[in-house]
Amino acid sequence: MTSTMKPLSELQQLFCDGLRSSEPPAQALLEEIVDDGLQVQRFNVYRNNFIVLNGDALADMYPVIKQLLGDEAFRMLATAYVREYPPMDRALLLYGERFAEFLAAVPELSGLPYLSDVARLEYAWTAAYHADDAAPLEQRQIAKLPSDELDHLRLRPHPSMRCIGSVYPIYRIWSANQSNRVDETVSLDEGGSQIVVIRPKAEVEIREMTPGALTFLQRLASADTIAEAYSHAAETEPEFDLNTFFTRYLFDGTFCAL
Amino acid sequence: MKDISLQSVAAPVPVRAGAGLKPKHYQAIIEQQPDIGWFEIHPENYMGRGGPPLHYLERIRADYPVSLHSVGTSLGSHLPLDTAHLKSLKSLVERFEPGLVSEHLSWSHGYEWYTNDLIPLFYTETTLKLIVEHIDQVQEFLGRKILIENPSTYLQFKQNEIPEQVFYVEAAKRSGAGLLLDINNVFVSCSNHGWSLDEYMSAVPHDMVEEIHLAGHSTQDLEGSTLRVDDHGSPVCSEVWRLYENYINSNGTVPTLIEWDSNIPEFPELFREVCFAEEIIRTANDQYHEATV
């Protein structure tokens, strides 16, 4: 027994400080561990678990970032991220929310300016995967409406929908790094991407959209009517064609039942 | 001992071998409908708002009883339990009607953030009172009894004043919880700390054991001595199988789970481990019947 008994709160915080630190465990912590000459090694099993278990969760969420950086660089960045932003939630499903922001601030990565946007895309994939379910809009619901009411309808996109715009061709970067297409090369001169991530049925889909289509969906998501959303979309992209858009997306699960 | 009346559950976990449910195996299980007694999940993996994991679980639950084995309650923390987490847990209990609900004898947050790992308790009277209070709160909130699981640990604190097995049993007795006996954890902890396996196992009252866990562990060399690390990443080792078989043969059969959480194999390899456990349960039951005929 130690001569000065620390309260439980202090002991647990001391332990947590040691887990999170990149430095060897503090003397005050080692003094609480039964002395068999291996206290540091024993404690390091926990410190290593903390880094590896949470780092694995990041690797699951960011497979393309991992592929772009290579295993070793990814591990180093994941370790730094876990120390800076440890899990705040007891469920790890969405752990890694700030990874895009974190990557953008790493000076050594300034040569890969698209990385942070690719990370936003990967986060959106997982967020869409675990998002609310919703019944899809069906033809018979629309058929019941008088045609002059259609313009004033407020269509609700599926709750899993995330919109992402980037000045880099992140859709192509993401596609080229799906396991079966590793040989593809992407030039940054290809231009930007407008992407919708959505889980209309069982699977998450990543769709490259035109600027007008993205604006249209974003406006609908913020409760515009079809007419209002369309006028914004046409401003962004004069060629935006509502009929083509609806033919493809109106009843495929992109929108919720009325 | 507190009385927590055993409520009737929709699908009790049978006295058979079960397997930890992994996303990698969803398709194989749904397509092949393997003859497995039950599946266990970590509820934290199903705390999303919607999406495929909950759909798969619903389909699998339609064919098998399930058990919820929580990793996020942090029963031994000085900080209060998280009501939002308990609510999510309760809604999963209501939706999937598990035969058993369990949690670990450990803690995982000292600050507002979570370690996502099970950290050893300080085995003192103060922690015992705290953990009994927290188990009470969980049982009260869920409206049902839970089981608590003995941990695997790699270090001991100088403050410890109660042997782990005594603490474990006492926490359950005082709160009315049941015991989830993880035989691999007993083996790992006894080996790591030089404790007696016999002493540990004989301190655990069999009538309180409602579930057994078996898993594989790895070993590390610590300057000439072996440290066993409970990583659930390999088949159950022969010593643990022997310990399990002896336990079942001398005490009676208990629902038994095979856990495999890292380096997860294809389904047939996991199924083979489940069949080993099932065979031990069957043999023990046959012997019991022969002895009583």
Residue pLDDT, tens place only, B43-54 = 999 999 999 999
Percent of chain A with pLDDT over 90: 86
Q: What is the pLDDT of residue A57?
A: 96
CB B154 within 8 A of CB A45: yes
Q: What is the pLDDT of residue A145?
A: 82
Mean pLDDT rounded to a whole number for chain B = 95
Residue A190 has pLDDT above 90, yes or no: no
Q: Could you tell me the pLDDT band of residue B7, with boundaries at 50, 70 and 90? A: low
Do A123 and A251 sit in the same domain of this protein?
Answer: yes
Partners of residue B148 on adjacent β-strands: B103, B179
Residue pLDDT, tens place only, B197-224 = 999 999 999 999 999 999 999 999 988 8
- CB contact under 8 Å between B116 and A53, yes or no, is yes
Q: Could you tell me the pLDDT band of residue B152, with boundaries at 50, 70 and 90? A: very high
How many domains are contained in chain A? 2
Residue A20 has pLDDT above 90, yes or no: yes
* Domain CATH code at residue B157: 3.20.20.150
Q: Could you tell me the pLDDT band of residue A3, with boundaries at 50, 70 and 90? A: very low
Residue B292 has pLDDT above 80, yes or no: no
Q: What is this model's ipTM?
A: 0.93
Do A129 and A193 sit in the same domain of this protein?
Answer: yes
Strands B100-104 and B147-149: parallel
Do A125 and A250 sit in the same domain of this protein?
Answer: yes
Strands B17-20 and B256-259: parallel
* DSSP string of B102-133, one letter each residue: EEESSB--SSSS--SS-BPP--SHHHHHHHHH
Longest dimension (CA), chain A: 83
CB B234 within 8 A of CB B184: no
With CA atoms as reference, the chain A residue closest to B192 would be: A42
Do A54 and A135 sit in the same domain of this protein?
Answer: no
Domain containing B41: what range? 17-292
Pick among A8, A14, A51, A93 to test the B interface (most B CBs inside 10 A) = A8
**Could you tell me if residue B21 is inside a domain?**
yes
With CA atoms as reference, the chain B residue closest to A37 would be: B223
Nearest to B126 among A8, A43, A199 (CB): A8
Task: Say how far apart CA B192 and CA B155 lie, in whole Å.
Answer: 8
Residue A223 has pLDDT above 80, yes or no: yes
In the 8-state DSSP scheme, what is residue A111? T
Within 8 A of B111 by CB-CB distance, chain A residues are 13, 16
- CB contact under 8 Å between B157 and A5, yes or no, is no
Residue pLDDT, tens place only, A136-148 = 999 999 888 887 8
- CB contact under 8 Å between B114 and A199, yes or no, is no
Rounded to the nearest angstrom, the minimum Cα separation between A109 and chain B is: 27
Nearest to B85 among A57, A90, A131 (CB): A90
Do A127 and A106 sit in the same domain of this protein?
Answer: no
| Distance set, CA A165 to CA A208, A243, B101 (Å) | 10, 23, 44
Residue B2 has pLDDT above 50, yes or no: no
CB B114 within 8 A of CB B74: yes
**Could you tell me if residue B5 is inside a domain?**
no
Q: What is the pLDDT of residue B184?
A: 98
Last residue of a domain, one of A81, A112, A143: A112
Greater confidence (A127 vs A141) lies with A127
Residues within 8 A of B (CB atoms), A 42-61 only: 42-43, 45-46, 49-50, 53-54, 57
Residue A167 has pLDDT above 60, yes or no: yes
Partners of residue B20 on adjacent β-strands: B40
Sequence-distant (≥ 6) Cβ neighbours of residue B89 within 8 angstroms: B43, B68, B70, B73, B101, B142
Last residue of a domain, one of A112, A132, A167: A112
Tell me the mean pLDDT in the region B11-28: 96
Percent of chain B with pLDDT over 90: 92
Do A144 and A252 sit in the same domain of this protein?
Answer: yes
Do A195 and A249 sit in the same domain of this protein?
Answer: yes
Q: What is the pLDDT of residue B289?
A: 75
Amino acid symbol at A113:
P
Task: Say how far apart CA A63 and CA A43 lie, in whole Å.
Answer: 30
- CB contact under 8 Å between A91 and B113, yes or no, is no
Sequence-distant (≥ 6) Cβ neighbours of residue A22 within 8 angstroms: A83
Residue pLDDT, tens place only, A237-251 = 999 999 999 999 999
Tell me the mean pLDDT in the region A39-68: 96
With CA atoms as reference, the chain A residue closest to B194 would be: A36
Do A101 and A11 sit in the same domain of this protein?
Answer: yes
Nearest to A88 among B51, B110, B113 (CB): B113
- CB contact under 8 Å between A15 and B49, yes or no, is no
**Could you tell me if residue B8 is inside a domain?**
no
Residue A181 has pLDDT above 80, yes or no: no
Do A77 and A42 sit in the same domain of this protein?
Answer: yes
Do A135 and A93 sit in the same domain of this protein?
Answer: no
Within 8 A of B158 by CB-CB distance, chain A residues are 1-2, 31-35
Tell me the mean pLDDT in the region A157-169: 97
Domain containing A75: what range? 1-112
Q: What is the pLDDT of residue B164?
A: 98
Residue A187 has pLDDT above 90, yes or no: no
Q: What is the pLDDT of residue B293?
A: 62
Do A97 and A149 sit in the same domain of this protein?
Answer: no
Last residue of a domain, one of A78, A112, A146: A112
The secondary structure element, H or E, covering residue B202 is helix B197-202
Rounded to the nearest angstrom, the minimum Cα separation between B192 and chain A is: 10
* DSSP string of B210-275, one letter each residue: EEEEEE--EEEEETTEEEEE----SPPPHHHHHHHHHHHHHH----EEEE--SS---HHHHHHHHH
- CB contact under 8 Å between B157 and A33, yes or no, is yes
CB A45 within 8 A of CB B229: yes
Q: What is the pLDDT of residue A202?
A: 87
φ and ψ of B182, to 5 deg: -95, 105
**Could you tell me if residue B7 is inside a domain?**
no
Percent of chain B with pLDDT over 70: 97
**Could you tell me if residue B181 is inside a domain?**
yes
A86 interfacial to chain B (CB closer than 8 Å): yes
Within 8 A of B71 by CB-CB distance, chain A residues are 90
Tell me the mean pLDDT in the region A6-27: 96
Helix axes B125-142 and A8-20, enclosed angle (nearest 10): 80
Residue B167's nearest CA partner among B197, B200, B119, B189 is B200
Residue pLDDT, tens place only, A72-110 = 999 999 999 999 999 999 999 999 999 999 999 999 999
- Enter the pTM of the model: 0.93
How many domains are contained in chain B? 1
Mean pLDDT rounded to a whole number for chain A = 94
Do A176 and A244 sit in the same domain of this protein?
Answer: yes
Q: What is the pLDDT of residue A182?
A: 61
Task: Say how far apart CA A49 and CA A241 lie, in whole Å.
Answer: 53
Q: How many residues does chain B have?
A: 293
